[in-house]
Structures are given as C-alpha cells and as structure tokens.
Amino acid sequence: MATKPVNVSIGLNAGALVTPGQVGKAESRHVCSKLRQRSKVLTGKKAALVLIFGGATKPGPGQQVASAIGKQLHCANADIFAPQTPFRAFWDGSLDYGQARLEVFVFTTKQSASAG
C-alpha cells in the first residue's frame, strides 16, 4: 500500500445526506456522482484504504456525514473502490459542515530494491 494518500475533496448538502427517506437517497446519488468526478485522478488504481473526514463544528455530525460518504464509494467507481474497500469515518473541525476530505491510500505494485 502506498504510504502517501491521494487527497480528494467534495462539497455536499450534509444535512440532506444524513436525512432518512427520499431526501437522503437523492443526496446519496449526488454524492456518488461527485465522487465519480473527483476520483478520476485515481483511474487505473485500486483503493486499499480510505480515510474520510467530514466537516462540522462537533464530532458526531462530521463522522455521520463521513460514514454516509463512505457508503457511496463503490457506487462512485467500482474499479477503484471494490465492494469491501475499508473506510474510516473521522471528523475535521477545520472543515465547514458540507465539506469533506478523503485520503485514498492505493495499492502499489512497486517492487523493493532487493526483489528480483
């Protein structure tokens, strides 16, 4: 796994994303679409681990948003984010509610200098 992540940032309607029912489903589709666009920088790579930081003034709402974003990874790009790609939801108090930062750690195929 690469030790330096690829950073991806998105803006979203955080309140709608965590709302049950049709409002939440609609925003989930929107988040999926945004992640699809933003993840193009990862084309040809496979995610090994994704850390998601949801912005909010308090930890609970930030983590709730980050967790909801994580559930959209496979929808966004199944080639990059396999169905069981692990993600962890975190809070970032320096981000506004409705902003999120993803740190995507990808698998690497580089061989060590001693291999071969």
DSSP the chain: --SSPEEEEEE--HHHHTS-SHHHHHHHHHHHHHHHHHGGGGTT--EEEEEEEEE-SSHHHHHHHHHHHHTTHHHH-TTTS-TT--EEEEEETTSPTTEEEEEEEE---PPPTT--
CATH assignment of 6-106?
Answer: 3.30.1330.60
- pTM value > 0.85: yes
Q: What is the pLDDT of residues 36-83, one digit of tens each?
A: 999 999 999 999 999 999 999 999 999 999 999 999 999 999 999 999
> What is the C-alpha separation between 68 and 73, in angstroms, rounded?
10
% of the chain exceeding 90 in pLDDT = 93
